[in-house]
Amino acid sequence: MVKSTHLNIMRPTQLPQIEARIATRSEVCYNKHSHDEFSFGIIDAGSARYDNRSRHHPIGRGDLVTINPADIHACNPHQGQWSYRMLFVDTLWLGKMQHEVLGRDTLDYYAFVADFERGQRFRTQFEALFDALLNDSSSLSAETLLYELLEQLYGHAQRHTTPRASKTVPHYLLRAREKLFDEIDRSVGLEVLAQEVGVSRYHLIRSFKQWFGLSPHAYLMDERIKRAKQMLKQGTPIVDTSLALGFADQAHFQRSFKSRIALTPKKYQSFFTL
């Protein structure tokens, strides 16, 4: 069977804090990954297994997926093709809107409580927002529709879901993560990392995955890809991006990027260059 997949990324001119993504007839499977932004979108066709924060959900046409910044997730279609539309929204910008919707501002932003929502009203509101963004409607129109969707999402979640309890990450894991960030351009050995924070290699792998959703190596790769996206958007050459982030070679960068973004670095960058 010939795969007929169309994937497009757009940044609405009236609200540059938002990035829109459309996938049509996709068969692409994603490795577990995360985003710096909030992301939410509608499944237009097909069905998939949706993993988020160690929970697994069957989703299909009409479901609205909601993903928080840094949530480790993957969304992979069942046999056959599927189509979806997603919005990626700047975290702090959306956080300011949340403060108004929720009437409190004790945090920079508030996480979605549910992993997805199901119901015609969610689909209708999302489609109105998406159409306004892509049709160059005024920022007033688009922002109004976004406020209305947020009000629906948070109001529904607060009525039907118990909020997640706050958790304090152990200090040694924060130190391990910080070392990975500080040395993102080189390969930090597991033994060195474990010695740095004073635990065994096994304990580090087990506890790191328990708290952050990925092993130290997978977490490092995820962070590299997120930083690569930003560099590519800014016009940094692909070769320079790969070198700056410590990939072994261009092939390694290409494979790692495509397994998480479903696009090659070159194709991804083309959406943000004139």
DSSP tag of 54: T
Q: Using CA of residue 229, residue 231, residue 236, residue 242, what is the dihedral sign?
A: negative
List where CATH 1.10.10.60 sits in the chain: 171-270
d(CA 37, CA 95): 11
Q: Are 22 and 143 in contact (CB under 8 A)?
A: no
Could you read off the pLDDT of 36-91 as tens digits, one per residue?
999 999 999 999 999 998 899 999 999 999 999 999 999 888 876 789 999 999 99
pLDDT at 255 (0 to 100): 93
pLDDT at 156 (0 to 100): 59
Enter the pTM of the model. 0.82
CATH architecture of 6-160: Sandwich (2.60)
pLDDT at 33 (0 to 100): 92
Starting at the edge strand found earlier in the chain, the sheet holding 6-10 runs: 6-10, 18-26, 82-89, 38-45, 64-67, 116-117
**Per DSSP, what are the bridge partners of residue 60?**
47
Report whether pLDDT(163) > 60.
no
pLDDT at 274 (0 to 100): 66
CATH architecture of 171-270: Orthogonal Bundle (1.10)
Could you read off the pLDDT of 202-248 as tens digits, one per residue?
999 999 999 998 999 999 999 999 999 999 999 999 999 999 999 98
Task: Report the chain's mean pLDDT, rounded to a whole number.
Answer: 88
Poorest-pLDDT segment among 23-32, 92-101, 120-129, 172-181: 23-32
List where CATH 2.60.120.280 sits in the chain: 6-160
Q: Are 23 and 84 in contact (CB under 8 A)?
A: yes
